[in-house]
Amino acid sequence: MVNIIKPHGADELNPLFVSDDAARARLAKESSSLPSVVVSSAAAGNAVMLGGGYFTPLTGYMDKANAMSVANTMETTDGLFWPTPVLNLLQETPPAKVGDTIALQDPNVAGNPVIAIQKIEAIEEYTDAEIDLIAQKVFGTTDSAHPGVAEFLAQGKVSVSGSIQVLNYSYFEVDFPGTFQTAVEIRKHIEKMGWKRIVAFQTRNPMHRAHEELCTLAMDRLDADGLVIHMLLGKLKAGDIPANVREAAISTMVEHYFPKNTVLISGYGFDMLYAGPREALLHALFRQNMGATHFIIGRDHAGVGDYYEPFEAQEIFDQIPAGALEIELFKADHTAYSKKLNKVVMMREAPDHNKDDFVLLSGTAVREMLGKGIAPPAEFSRPEVAKILMDHYKNET
């Protein structure tokens, strides 16, 4: 038996999905007679993460005291390290009272089926000042032009907290069969493969050559025997490449350029927060829960626009209490192909280079090239990957 890293704050994972088929069917039937609310996409994503064990050891949605504590101190009221509030916010008070059980309907699936059953432990309203404080602490800004802030402000100010039982994984299992996996399933894969040192790589984009080489570099330096490329499968901002296209591009890259049986391509059902440093901590926490021992964090991790400094998401790990997380960081710089060395390097490790010594292309320039059916240079993007992306942009026009 492989000795896998412990989950966060627990000896074992605490998946809230009702795994017993009969019990789940019974709850689903009973839910039709319960008071119900259509929750936000963010709350549905939280349910999926709670269901799959990614948010171990939480048992449901946080109440106001815990949410404000997490926003202010990154700890729950009982001292558990947690970087972002996990909430069920509504626009209006639900048709139920404290002590009742309520059905939570999924906003992202046609017909709004019930995604989870919640025992209401508190119904509380946030003031505008409290909502602004959470936004400022979590996102570093209250600017509604920030996509994560805009999404948060749109959810509402009525908090319904309490434990949940999850009945399904929303659209993720159906839309991404074979890619969407729970933390439970990833741990089982790690055990089956016998991996001991596992590197996790977060992506919401297709992987270009620099990303590929960064993963290879991290595995080599950490003497890792497994890599989990962990794709976000939930909602992104406008203009980002859809998950199915990213999945195809990444699968092709792994097939051609990584040794067999060293990589697991997986995905998780959550919407992007774009919360920079705080989200980087959350990303590391739930990668520990899925069994990774190391996590790559590069330049502007989980960032958007100019809201965060390039390495703020790395620096925040030096500010949290020792032992808050067991997973270790692999701190990466911007990676690019060196014309001098004929290989991809981390730019900080090439002090004798200037900007012209690297193959550097902006995201905008790459999208324009792909949209015109022009493959980026082989030093920037593998040709097999570029073809998939060119086909996507061609179909978009």
Contact 177, 155 (CB under 8 A): no
- Residue 48 to residue 53: CA distance in whole angstroms: 9
**Helix, coil or strand: residue 323:** coil
- Residue 299 to residue 312: CA distance in whole angstroms: 8
Provide the 10 A C-beta neighbour count for residue 200.
28
Amino acid at 354: N
- Residue 151 to residue 41: CA distance in whole angstroms: 9
- Residue 369 to residue 382: CA distance in whole angstroms: 14
Q: Is 348 a catalytic residue?
A: no
- Residue 60 to residue 58: CA distance in whole angstroms: 6
- The answer for residues whose C-beta is within 8 angstroms of residue 78's C-beta and 6 or more apart is none
Backbone CA torsion sign across 207, 209, 210, 211: positive
Contact 17, 166 (CB under 8 A): yes
Q: What is the DSSP letter of 228?
A: E
Catalytic-role residue among 168, 205, 299, 367: 205
Closest to 302 (Cα-Cα) out of 78, 84, 89, 57:
84
Please name every residue paired with 329 in a beta bridge, in sequence order, or none if there are none. Answer: 295
Q: Is 205 a catalytic residue?
A: yes
- Residue 236 to residue 378: CA distance in whole angstroms: 28
- Determine how β-strand 158-166 pairs with β-strand 122-125: antiparallel
Catalytic-role residue among 24, 112, 197, 204: 204
Tokens of 306: 């100019």
Task: Indicate which residues carry an active-site annotation.
Answer: 204-205
